[in-house]
Amino acid sequence: MTHISSHKSDSDLPPFIKSWPQMYGIVIGTLLIQMLLFYWMMRYFE
């Protein structure tokens, strides 16, 4: 197995994402948006 450096890890980021903390922010932000959307959907259709 080859040793994996943190530099290599950063180069695996998707396009337009500059760092892992930014990527994690997107994941958590998406979760919040999903919960808000679900809440809106529930209120709209109930």
Partner 1 sequence: MSLIDWLVLVGTLSFIILYGIYKSRGKQNIEDYLIAGQSLPWYHVCLSVMATQASAITFLSAPGQGFSDGMRFVQFYFGLPLAMVVLSITFIPIFHRLKVFTAYEYLENRFDGRVRMFTVSLFLLSRGLSTGLSIYAPSIILATILGWDITWTNILMGAVVLIYTVTGGTKAISYTHVQQMLIVTIAMFIAGYMVVHLLPADVGFVDALKVAGKAGRINLIELEFDPNSRYNIWSGLIGGFFLQLSYFGTDQSQVGRYLTGQSVGQSRLGLVMNGLLKIPMQFLILLVGVLVFVYYQYNASPIFFNTVETQKLQSSQYAGDYQKLESEYNVLSAQKKQTVLSLKSALDRADETAIATQQQALLANETKAKEIRSATADLIKKNNPTADTSDVNYVFLRFVLDHLPVGLIGLLIAVIFSASMGSIAAAYSSLASTSIIDIYKRTIKPDAPESHYLTASRVATVLWGLFCIFIAQYASKLGSMIEAVNILGSLFYGVILGVFLVAFYFKTVQAQATFWGAILAEIGVIACWWFDLTAFLWLNVIGCLLVIGFAWILQQFSRPQTA
- For partner 1, the binding residues (CB under 8 A) are 1-4, 6, 8-14, 20, 23-24, 26-28, 30-31, 34-35, 38-39, 41-42, 44-46
DSSP conformational letter for 3: -
* Separation CA 16–CA 35 (nearest Å): 25
Closest contact distance (angstroms) between CB of 9 and partner 1 is 4
Which single residue is written with the structure tokens 């197995």?
Answer: 1
Least separation in angstroms between CB 35 and partner 1? 7
Please, are residues 13 and 20 in contact by the beta-carbon 8 Å criterion? yes
Least Cβ distance, residue 15 to partner 1 (angstroms): 12
